[in-house]
Amino acid sequence: MRLIVCDEAAATALAAAEWIAAQLRAALEARGRAGVAFSGGASPRPMLEVLAAQPLPWTQVDAFQVDERVAPAGSAARNLTMLRAALPQACWHPMPVDDFESGQAAQAYARTLAAFGGAPPVLDLVHLGLGDDGHVASLFPGSEALEVQDREVVATSEQRGHRRLTCTLPLLSRARQRIWLVTGTGKAAMLAALWRQDSGIPASRVARTASTIFADAAAAAQLY
């Protein structure tokens, strides 16, 4: 696991976006298409907006979701709302949370991933955030979803006001590269826990190989 610390959040977003663009270019050169999964939340929007300005053949970039809340289409609670607004030109494959009640949404998205990345699916890159309780994707402390090893996507019970779909640890750990974006003082304690591989937080259960953390100085304050 590598750590890259920038002075401020804006510089971190720029560095992370440029790094992602380089990984996507390498994947496109090697395989003709690139598959990347993005996390939601507020933190990644500046990074995605910088990434959107990068000169890439976006019609060849398949963009997936790491997780999604069950909420109405277009709602601010939906990760896809922000993701598409910040990076509109990628080929988005939304998590089908509108069909959540059917019980088939997780299986349907697993098939979407397999259609791109094979069986089991392998993505070129996964972007991850770090929750203030150490959660990653929608894999929260104590969640049964943390123990799933035989599926790529699962539905979860209500967490912080929403039921969710989330990619599982095997899919996140199988990606060719992982990027963590961690900014702000509120993430400092959890970044320190992730860095020392604290087994008490879900984020520490993601594979550390081929993983790069981009953090600002505020988030990295407890690392030194």
Q: What is the pLDDT of residues 166-178, one digit of tens each?
A: 999 999 999 999 9
Alpha carbon of residue 43 to chain centroid: 11
Residues 207, 189: Cα–Cα separation, whole Å: 20
> CA nearest 92: which of 112, 122, 108?
112
What average pLDDT score do residues 57-73 get?
A: 96
Number of separate domains in the chain: 1
Say whether pLDDT at 117 is over 90: yes
What are the CA-CA distances from residue 62 to residues 89, 120, 221 (Å)? Answer: 10, 17, 35
Distance CA 138, CA 59 (A): 28
Q: Which domain holds residue 201?
A: 2-223
Which pLDDT value is given to residue 204?
Answer: 97
Between CA 215 and CA 1 the distance in angstroms is 13
Encode pLDDT of 11-34 as tens digits.
999 999 999 999 999 999 999 999
The CATH number assigned to the domain holding 89 equals 3.40.50.1360
What is the C-alpha to C-alpha distance for residues 116 and 122, in angstroms, rounded to an integer? 8
Length of the chain in residues, anyone?
224
Phi, psi of 33 (to 5 degrees): -140, 160
pTM of the prediction? 0.96
